[in-house]
Amino acid sequence: MESYPLMRYMGSKYKLIPWFYEAFSELEFDSALDAFSGSGVVSYLFKSMDKQVYSNDFLNFPSTISKALIENNQTTLEEEDIRALTNMDVKSDDFIEKTFHKVFYSKDDLVFLDKISHNIAQLTSPYKKALALTALFRSCLKKQPRGVFTISGNLEKYDDGRRDLKISLQRHFLEQVAIYNEVVFDNQQENQSLHSSIFEIDTQSCKPDLVYLDPPYVPASDDNCYVKRYHFLEGLSKYWHGEQIMEDTKVKKIQKKYTPFSYKKTAIEAFENMFDKFSDSIIALSYSSNAFPDLDTLVSLMKNQKATVEVKTKSHRYNFGNHSKAMRANVVEYLIIGKD
């Protein structure tokens, strides 16, 4: 489990994994749904615990990550795949180079992204495609200052001499492929990567013994929009097919995706509906002390569906580079577990 590559992702539970492992080890379950998978690290924990895993996110790039590392039990990128992927003597579209010129990365890096996107599309195995894209996402995150796509243009002030900012995206990609090839493993289960809103998951075909819920929370200030921070990766995951670039934005964003968890007026009802939907499963909800709705409200909503509700606590310091002071401060992390 220690080997899961750290993906700089807002709200990632990476650092809480040892604590989660202890908590989940006390529960009896054979299958688990990680309904808001993000970086995929919690799904990977379940996979390592030999559970049958359903991993879901309504964004395409997190679902691609879980296709590569959760659903995929065996496929890796071989020498000949890597050679074909990094063949730059191909005629490709130049959408990325044209669109993101002077926004993100150098010209060479942008050309590389166009060409490799073309080459990824030629792969026939969906798992190889997903694995190559996952390696590309981590490469892009490493080379983007602060790991978010809200900043662009002259980024010299962020250049602290880090190697990650200096080496080419192609070099990053080769390194990341080697890293991700190592973490593909078979847990002898039919795991599935899903890509939908939590409210549209079909509970006839996906009936997990346990569901882990880590939704975004209504932010105290700023906003918690994942598309705003990661629009470039979301676009890259599908070469922007079906997405409309908002041309008047400096960083060439795409439309944000509505989620009821981000707004005070819809969040409580969304939690109620979600608990109701998964009332036949053990429910494990992540919650942190700086969020809305408050802990008492969430516990009482869960009690409407579950006979016993236990709250586990741990203090946790977020290192994620968010400018709001609240996010940088120590917060208490809760795992609210509802059982029958």
Ligand X SMILES: C[S@@+](CC[C@H](N)C(=O)[O-])C[C@H]1O[C@@H](n2cnc3c(N)ncnc32)[C@H](O)[C@@H]1O
The Cα 166–Cα 84 span in angstroms is: 25
- For the chain, how far is it from start to end, CA to CA, in angstroms? 30
Question: How far apart (Å, rounded) are the C-alpha atoms in residues 103 and 74?
Answer: 37
- Piece of the chain touching ligand X by CB under 6 A; list 39-47, 143-151, 248-256, 326-334: 39-47
Classify residue 240 by its DSSP letter.
Answer: T
Kindly state the smallest distance separating residue 213's Cβ from ligand X, in Å: 9
Single out the residue of 278, 277, 340, 288 nearest to residue 311, CA to CA. Answer: 288
- Among 52-60, 78-86, 147-155, 235-243, which window interacts with ligand X (CB under 6 A)? 52-60
User: Given the rule CB under 6 A, which of 55-63, 128-136, 247-255, 318-326 is the region that contacts ligand X?
Assistant: 55-63
Pairing mode of beta strands 210-213, 282-288:
parallel
Residue of the chain from 5, 11, 145, 235 that contacts ligand X (CB under 6 A):
11
Which span sits near ligand X by CB under 6 A: 57-65, 241-249, 293-301, 322-330?
Answer: 57-65
What long-range pairs does 223-226 form, CB within 8 A, spacing at least 24? 223/262, 224/10, 224/11, 224/262, 225/256, 225/262, 226/10, 226/38, 226/59, 226/257
Check binding of 214 to ligand X (CB under 6 A). yes
5 binds ligand X (CB under 6 A): no
Q: Does position 66 bind ligand X by CB under 6 A? A: no
When the beta carbons of 59 and 285 are compared against ligand X, the nearer one is 59
Residues that contact ligand X, how many (by CB under 6 A):
21
Name the residue number minimizing CB distance to ligand X.
38
Q: How far apart are CA 101 and CA 306, in angstroms?
A: 53
- Residues at the site binding ligand X, with contacts judged by CB under 6 A: 9, 11-13, 36, 38-39, 41-42, 57-59, 62, 197-198, 214-216, 226, 259, 261
